Chains A and B, each alone.
Chain A
Amino acid sequence: MTLEQAKIEETGAMTFEVNGTRVEATPAPGQCLRTLLREHEHFEVKKGCDTGDCGACTVQIDGTPVHSCIYPAHRAVGKQITTAAGLGQPGNLAPIQQRFVDASGFQCGFCTPGMIVTAAAIEADAALGVDDLPRLLKGNLCRCTGYRSISDSIVGQHTPPDGSCHTAPGHEHAEASSLGPVRATGRTRGARGAGLVGTSPGAIAGERVVSGLEPYTLDVAIPGLLHLAVLGSPHAHARIRSLNVAKAAALPGVHRVFTHADSPTTLFSTARHESRFDDPDDTLVFDQTLRFRGQRVAAVVADSVAIAEAACRLIDVEYELRDAVFDPRLAGAPGAPLVHGDKDPVVSRLADPTRNLVAELHGEFGSVDEGLEMATTIVSGRWQTQRIAHTHLETHATMGWLSGDRLVLRTSSQVPFLVQKEICRLFDLDPAGVRVFTARVGGGFGGKQELLTEDLVTLAVLSTGRPVQYEFTRTDEFTITPVRHPMTIDVTVGAQGDGRLTALKLGVLADTGAYGNHAPGVMFHGTSESVALYNVPNKRVDAQSVYTNNPPSGAFRGYGLGQVIFAIECALDELARELGVDPFELRRLNSVRPGDPLVVTHEEGPDLIFGSYGLDQCLDLAEAALKRGNRAVVPVGLQWRVGTGMASSMIATTPPRGHRSQASVQLVAGGRYLVRVGTTEFGNGTTTVHAQIAATALHTSVDRIDLLHSDTDSAGYDSGAFGSAGVVVAGKAVLAAATALAETLVEVASAWSGHGLTRGTDTGTWQLEHDGLRAVESESELVSLDTLMHWATANDVGLTAVRREDGALRSLAFNVHAFRVAVNTATGEVRILQSVQAADAGFVVNPEQCRGQIEGGVAQALGTALFEEVVLDGAGAVTTRVLRNYHVPQLVDLPVTEVYFAQSHDVLGPYGAKSMSESTYNPVAPALANAIRDAIGIRPTELPMSPDRIWRLLHG
């Protein structure tokens, strides 16, 4: 026994080294190394799970990589631990870190420190080769990128500076891609003028992200921090008859126990939208009625999570069980148990709580019956989609504290301003007394457009006066966080012999679970662009979103479109087969074009316009790529069948009914500009794009732009980072503000030179440059920005421009996906031989980032299409409670997708850009289903199309 060991046995105290620095610590018995390291402010060690599955917590122990969340802390005694921060730091990055910066090997960056520590260990071990990356990286999950850029980073490959995203044999498509040399991947370091729109500067926080030093929500040490844990309902439907918290409250270290007796009585929705009336008010902070397993029964605030959890176990609850309904098809039947039978439909904004109906849409355009009569070919079918967990690597979490008498919430949210509004409403607070902000957010995908942790933290901070943290576990993410709405979708389509559609009939039943957050929005959005994409004279939609006692469903990338597009695009594929028409041709024949009306059940309002149109190009690009093929080899054996398939999708570039953003741009010292904008960075890349936009408008470079964002104190109002609004709404506000400031600077320069500061006078003679302004005709010396700033300050001239964008007009973006697959008829395995996405993104502000968004959307969609399902037991309990049982795609699971951009230029978006984050997800599952159908002759109609399901189609 060494001396060190003897010591730990006696007192539990021990020493070890982290990145060369000696640490003294006394781990709790049973503590894991990750939490110990984080206690010592090694926040570069992330938590993505608690089970050794995700790799975000990876550290090296004496050079050996381990998942620190499953490594007993006491074993660290005497060891040398290396974290991402120990490999290199900003300004002095390790080569592997630099390669992640150069190849844009991250989006939200939450997986990155663990990924890099793992990659460094692989590099250092001669026995491990990068050719074995699929196996070696199976314990490192990335939810954002789709891994192409990660393996590029590890093997040291770059997207070529000539910008073509994918180099197919012969470069045939190079011209069609919008990534010509003009949009070269420019690196900003040192290079003046680099980073303008149309180029691909790396993420602004890149060096900090790869060294683990960019702080996320919980990466900050707050003295005296208390922790909150929740007791969840063991029942799917029950009423709390009595509750005894005496034993829990008496446990040493417990500060407060909250129950429904402490709850504000104001009903709200966890879903957040620009208009709070979009979602039904059916939720309480604590409710005496429990409507799904895991719903809050009580919460404990204590010195540690361990104490809070122990106290939860000491709470005695007597439940009165109620009948529950789990099958959405039975929810509306007479006599079905009512989930919110107590609600007033007007107050809560519910279609009919006596039928468990949250929202419905019934409408017809033309006459579907007549349309079907005119048809020579009719196809109809039923499709089923599953529950999906967003699985952003950073779980939901909030830290709250009092600053003076103000409440401060630091939260992992896509919508800090909307959270502020609703928290103030719930707790009757003055908005001036509440600050909500986010640090960098570790992924969202719609899951953080909900208020899930902030209300409890508010309650706890207000009543204890202490800083309090509430962090979801990964199991919380699977069991109590809203999932993607599962839908049962009926589609009937009819066409005439020439392939023209005559009728489209859609029936949708969405299971919104126990609460109606996002239920109406997902249902209406889901049935909108999916249907409006096609010119059909006769359309009918019957859609319902119903309550059940299942865990709630919510917002998920695509916001309902993905589910309905899956069904419609599969039905169209079947129709094309029956008609003997090529599926691309069928789309060309029937898709809307500029000038066509946009119809769901009636013509859409004038706010939706064709600001640009690239669907035709997308169809051509995808078809050509598929025809061209690639070098993928078809597996040998009679059991393998090959097929191809495609699908289209359309999306409005902004959510309906307004999305507001206010941006300000200010000239500050050193020729720098400060951009303030409310929207959140969660891996979508908006900060980089905003810096590019501002730099371009101000004739400077991105390294001169500083950004403050996502903070109700330091930025103007923003509806939030959802509905893909980061570029087209917030970015547009930034462009307007930066342009206005550029104009002001020209005016100020002429005023400074004695011309007098009057608007509209001879301002054209001064020109803004990188370091100052110059009078064009006189070829004067450069007037530095600092000189102008001092002069402006002295003369009381403001050098801040503020502009707003309200998203009142919305454009349309398109995506087409195509696959070639091989299916093993003996096992049901699907192998993707070729994956192609063509995107109509308008002007591509940052090609590499946009490509990353597309790859990431495709990756997430392939997870949905092939692997993922939050499984329930039929009685409202989730059985897939850890990552190991919910298969998020690993590196090995994903093909490299060829990405093509249509050449289009939008009249609404900044510089002609369109949104491109949600939409990339939507055409993938149907394209894959259509390819599988082509290969095996049987149509899969249920997601995920896992081997066991495909096998059952063939043999069951």
Chain B
Amino acid sequence: MDLNTVTHVIPARQRSDLDALGPTVVPLAGGSELYADPRTHLTGLIDLQTFDWPALTVTDDGLVIGATCTVAELSRLPLQNGWAAHPLFYQCCTALYGSFKVWNVATVGGNLATSLPAGPMITLAVALDAELLVWRADGSDDVVPARSFVTGDMTNVLADGDVLRSIHVPLASLHAQTAYRKIALSPLGRSGAVLAGRLDAVGAFVLTVTAATLRPVQLRYSALPTAHVLARDIDTIDCWFTDAHGAADWRRAMGLLLGEEIRVELELAGGRA
């Protein structure tokens, strides 16, 4: 839709261009969220795409995803030797309700910054224990663990003027085994629950619950837990919620069901309860 209250769009080329950000001037990445939701308080956009940040950079200690990397680019992430977690990237892309045409514009950073419960890039970043580089409005840099970035339904640790610069996925996570489950009220519908499990080389198990909960929830174990323990812990999650994409009681049940499926899959893949 037209953002009728916006009076200026500024292409950003250097960090100081971000000084104009504020409560009514916000970053523009793919625009797939901004241009789909009327926010009449907005007066300006700072276009991040003109930064030309590299989309995907493989480094010695992992993968750096530029915030403006599109979901389409991420979905084509080339497989590297030993990256057992590689399938999770594409799987999380498919959890976006938007079509492959939305993938062509929507960005990873925009997805995290939007902080919807059903944000699949949040699932990915949290499941892989990614760290997020944040450019603070005051010019400082901050590194925030993905798991504490999103604080609630469409809320996060970013303040006005802050910009998410990049997502850093550690090599250990890329080498881990992963398992993924998504369920919705229709076969390819908007996510009702998206869960990802990660089994590290050292045997540690991390379960990430998203879309069913108001914010991502992570359960961490030094080794694969028993079914009973996992169920007990999933049951303690206190932020299941109801919206058009599923009722809270069903979401809780799906969390239990899919969490156990993930546990079993990773157990078969080599972990031991």
Contacts and interface: CB of A to CB of B under 8 A. Distances in A.
Interface of A: 1, 5, 9, 28-32, 35, 50-52, 55, 58, 64-67, 69-72, 74-75, 118, 121, 128, 134-140, 305-306, 309-310, 313, 473, 826-828, 866-867, 869, 871, 879-880, 882, 884-887, 889-890, 892-893, 946-948, 951-952, 955-956
Nearest to A474: B1
Nearest to B37: A51
Contacts of A827: 183, 254, 257
23 contacts: A30-B6, A32-B3, A35-B2, A52-B98, A52-B102, A64-B104, A65-B104, A66-B101, A70-B31, A72-B28, A75-B49, A138-B188, A139-B100, A827-B257, A867-B186, A884-B190, A885-B245, A887-B244, A889-B186, A890-B186, A890-B188, A952-B247, A956-B249
A884 B188 CA distance: 12
A882 B243 CA distance: 13
Interface stretch (B7-15, B124-132, B165-173): B7-15
B172 to A, nearest CB: 30
Given A30-B2, A67-B102, A893-B188, 10 more contacts: A29-B6, A65-B100, A70-B32, A70-B102, A138-B99, A139-B102, A306-B5, A827-B257, A887-B189, A948-B247
B100 A136 contact: yes
B177 to A, nearest CB: 23
A309 B250 CA distance: 40
Interface string B44-55: 110101000000
B36 A51 contact: yes
A67 B36 CA distance: 11
B4 interface: yes
B89 interface: no
- What 3 A-B pairs have minimum CB-CB distances, sorted nearest first? A139-B99, A30-B6, A30-B3
A708 B257 CA distance: 59
Contacts of A75: 49
B40 interface: yes
Contact of B185 (A136, A305, A882, A947): A947
Contact of B9 (A29, A128, A826): A29
Contacts of B187: 134, 892-893
A140 B49 CA distance: 27
A313 B40 contact: yes
B2 A952 contact: no
Nearest to B102: A52
Given A134-B188, A827-B183, A69 B244 contact: no
A947 B100 CA distance: 25
Nearest to B247: A948
B11 A5 contact: yes
Contacts, number: 160
B2 A893 contact: no
B246 interface: yes
| Residue among A118, A893, A946 facing the most chain B CB atoms (10 A cut-off) | A946
B253 interface: yes
A9 B185 CA distance: 45
B83 interface: no
Contact of A135 (B44, B104, B186, B188): B188
A138 B9 CA distance: 31
A31 B36 contact: no
Contact of A58 (B2, B45, B101): B101
Interface string B244-273: 111101110110010000000000000000
A55 B2 contact: no
A71 B31 contact: yes
A305 B254 CA distance: 44
| Residue among B1, B31, B37, B250 facing the most chain A CB atoms (10 A cut-off) | B1
Nearest to B31: A72
Contacts of B42: 30
A70 B29 CA distance: 12
B105 interface: yes
Contacts of B244: 869, 871, 879-880, 885-887
Nearest to A473: B1
B131 to A, nearest CB: 30
Interface of B: 1-9, 11, 13, 28, 31-32, 35-37, 40, 42, 44-45, 47, 49, 94, 97-102, 104-105, 183, 185-190, 192, 243-247, 249-251, 253-254, 257
Contact of B253 (A66, A74, A955): A955
Nearest to B13: A1
B249 A30 contact: no
A58 B249 CA distance: 38
Contacts of B3: 29-32
Given A826-B257, A871-B244, A70 B100 contact: no
Nearest to B244: A885
A867 B185 contact: yes
Contacts of B243: 879, 885
Contacts of A955: 253
B226 to A, nearest CB: 20
Nearest to A882: B36
Contacts of B250: 828, 947-948, 951-952
Given A28-B2, A72-B31, A886-B244, A892 B101 contact: no
Given A66-B104, A67-B102, A69-B35, A866 B186 contact: yes
B188 A306 contact: no
Contacts of B100: 65, 128, 135-136, 139
Nearest to A9: B11
Given A30-B3, A885-B243, A885-B244, A50 B102 contact: no
Contacts of A118: 101
A313 B2 CA distance: 17
A863 to B, nearest CB: 10
Contacts of A9: 11
A472 to B, nearest CB: 13
A81 B105 CA distance: 15
A33 to B, nearest CB: 9
Nearest to B251: A948
A71 B188 CA distance: 23
B249 A952 contact: yes
A884 B184 CA distance: 13
Given A826-B257, A867-B185, A880-B244, A305 B9 contact: no
B105 A71 contact: yes
A313 B8 CA distance: 20
Contacts of A30: 2-7, 9, 42, 45
Nearest to A135: B188
Contacts of A828: 250
Contacts of B36: 50-52, 69-70, 882
B97 A32 contact: no
A121 B253 CA distance: 40
B253 A951 contact: yes
Contact of A948 (B35, B40, B44, B246): B246
A725 to B, nearest CB: 34
B99 A136 contact: yes
A35 B35 CA distance: 12
B68 to A, nearest CB: 13
| Residue among A69, A136, A309, A827 facing the most chain B CB atoms (10 A cut-off) | A827
Contact of A946 (B7, B31, B49, B185): B185
Given A52-B98, A55-B99, A306-B4, A70 B249 contact: no
A685 to B, nearest CB: 28
Contacts of A890: 186, 188
Contacts of A884: 97, 190
A26 to B, nearest CB: 13
Contacts of A885: 190, 243-245
Contacts of B185: 867, 887, 946-948
Contact of B2 (A32, A66, A886): A32
A75 to B, nearest CB: 8
A135 B7 CA distance: 37
A50 B97 contact: no
A32 B188 contact: no
Contacts of B98: 52, 139
